[in-house]
Amino acid sequence: MADRAGGGPTRRQVGRGMAALGGALILAPLPAASAAPGTAGSDGSEGTGHGRPTLRHGSAERAGLLPAPLRQLVTDAEAFLGPSPRHPWYAGAVLLAGRGGTVALHQPIGQAVRYAAYDEKTDTAVEFPAEQQIAMAKDTVFDLASVSKLFTSILAVQQIERGTLELEGKVASYLPDFGGAGKQDITIRQLLTHTSGFRAWIPLYTAPTYEEKLRRVWNEAPLNPPGTTYLYSDLNLISLQLVLEKITGRPLDTLLRTEITAPLGMRRTRFNPPASWKPGIAATEDARQPWSGLDRGLVWGEVHDENAYSLGGVAGHAGVFSTAWDLAVLGRTLLNGGVYGGARILRPESVDLMFTDFNTAFPGDEHGLGFELYQHWYMGAMATERTAGHTGFTGTSLVLDPTTDSFLVLLGNSVHPVRTWRSGSAPRVAAADNLARAVAVRPARGRTAWFSGMATATSATLTLPALDVGTGGRLRCALWWDTEPRADALFLESSADGGTTWQPVPFTTVRDGGAAPPGGTPEEHPDGSVTGWSGRVWHLLGADLPVAARLVVRWRYTTDRLYVGRGVYVDALRVRDDDRVVFDEARPADSARVEGVGWAASSD
């Protein structure tokens, strides 16, 4: 099921552009993954990983993270156990965050099983007696919902590596019956990037037999010509499942076990968990019509998604159950370039493709092979051009940031007791904002730098004192920015009339090479502003200033009411007029006026 509430999409579109990728993918075959001695398991033991980290629990400091934001991550997550704004967003959750090989936060909150039923007449829930409720635990198993799509995608990329599947191959070449109703030109890549033209979903669960369900897929016509539109669709991954099963001769649950979970030691990840697991599984919805497609009562230990349920619990788009630790192992494997402990499940270049945007024609809907990219609507301030992740309708999410080597798992039972009690992705955003904040930004020079903060719907301003600037006036500073593209921006402005009117100041930036000369080609900013992402590195800024006897220069950072990035830092401020220094941040006599968060220490 697509990650939505009440049938409407929740994803927010943010725009950016990259060079288009074209052509077919050709990779040399890679043998099937195999487990090796020393593969790390669910107990958190650490292996060598052939020089790549495997996971263990440790402190924030060991992970290179700031402890305070991690504590705030838990505090913010607990707030959503209460009205948010009207009903709890989830009955409980398991939070896991880390960096490198260290899991610095692994915290259960709330209840895995709380409600026996939902009363639609009063919009209230009927709770189990206290002694029958089950608290969340670190190893609580969750129905991952659409996060399952990542496993299907990985299995497909493995087959591409082995030469049995072509990325640009037509689906109908593997499944001839698929080619009807205008689908003859849909490719494997279009399934993986949701550009096939399929509608979001169809109620396969109303078909009485498996053969009839297949017939509905074969007869389904695209809403749009393949490759012309981005539209997130469960049908893409259901179709990919059918391709995988056809070319391998094995069912999807067997592929999951032999190609991913067994090699990686993910012992609590599978389709159709056995009845013995039920006490350790988070309950989902009191599934009854009209809000559910099927009348099933409290769904607990079985897949929530109606289509996956009707397919026997094994489906390409939903149906995988897992724990926070196992998902972190999968995330660490991908951040490692496809290897974990003694097992390799993907080649590094394949992982790169999963984290590379193939949807450059659809700004705001960046997508790798299976993974969503650069989506602030649930990645929050962790979102960068390389940040990859996915969400699930039941309240699950995984976010991986290669630029900081950090990972975040948030597993919540947000459809417990009913899907209409949750909306949006506020808990996911809050958690991602806090983990992003936990990765310190070190000042470019010295011990402090001006920091804009990370608040929504606000502005922060850094203003220099009035300067006497002649024809040789030149501003230099270090600049670091990470903002929601286009929605939030930093402006460099000047005023010659004491702040009554302000004009943009054009400037250039170039990546700071540290002790070496700056690297890269200078980038012009003729409108005097930056937005988006600086690559999580400092850039050197240079600007020619207008001639004025009392010129005031300021940086102004503004945010909209929805999402923010990591913020903006300004450091090493210096203004010269020919051979004369008229302002130097390092001189005690010079001072800048701050309206906003202000100066941040080097430990920030």
Give the span between the Cα atoms of 358 and 192, in whole angstroms: 10
Please tell me the number of Cα atoms within 13 Å of 140 on its side-chain side: 32
Mean per-residue pLDDT for 450-479? 94
CA angle 192, 157, 536 (to 5 degrees): 75
Question: Which uninterrupted H or E stretch holds 399?
Answer: strand 396-401
> What is the band of 32 on the pLDDT scale with cuts at 50, 70, 90?
very low
> Which pLDDT belongs to residue 589?
75
Least Cα distance to 282 among 242, 323, 241, 312 occurs for 323
Contact residues for 259 (Cβ-Cβ < 8 A; gap 6+): 32, 33, 154, 155, 158, 345
N-term to C-term CA, the chain:
40
Position 216 confidence tier, pLDDT thresholds 50, 70, 90: very high
- β-strand 396-401 against 320-322: which pairing, if any? unpaired
Structure tokens at 288: 């009854």
Query: What is the model's pLDDT at position 604?
Result: 57
Residue predicted with more confidence, 181 or 519: 181
Is the pLDDT confidence value at 34 over 60?
A: no
Q: Which stretches does DSSP call E strand in 121-271? A: 124-127, 134-135, 142-143, 270-271
Q: Alpha helices, DSSP H only, in 367-425?
A: 376-379
Dump the DSSP string for 79-117: HTTSBSSSSBS-SEEEEEEEETTEEEEEEEEEEEE-EEE
Share of the chain above pLDDT 90, in %: 84
Enter the tokens of residue 283: 């309950």
Q: Can you tell me the distance from the alpha carbon of 365 to that of 362, in angstroms, rounded to the nearest whole number?
A: 6
pLDDT value at position 517? 58
- pLDDT tens, position by position, 524-579: 999 999 999 999 999 999 999 999 999 999 999 999 999 999 999 999 999 999 88
Q: Is the pLDDT of residue 170 over 50?
A: yes
pLDDT at 516: 52
Is the pLDDT at 328 greater than 80, yes or no?
A: yes
Q: What is the model's pTM?
A: 0.90
The confidence score (pLDDT) of residue 26 equals: 36
- Pick from 284, 350, 286, 288: which is nearest to 318 by CA? 284
pLDDT at 597 over 90: no
> Is residue 41 very low, low, confident or very high in pLDDT (cuts 50, 70, 90)?
very low
Note the pLDDT tens digit of each residue in 283-314.
Answer: 999 999 999 999 999 999 999 999 999 999 99
Question: Quick one: tokens of 441?
Answer: 């930004």
- Residue 460: which pLDDT band, with cuts at 50, 70 and 90? very high
Q: What's the average model confidence in pLDDT over 229-235?
A: 98
Instruction: Give the C-alpha separation, 603 to 441, whole Å.
Output: 8
What angle (nearest 5°) sits at the alpha carbon of residue 125, between those of residues 122 and 131?
A: 150
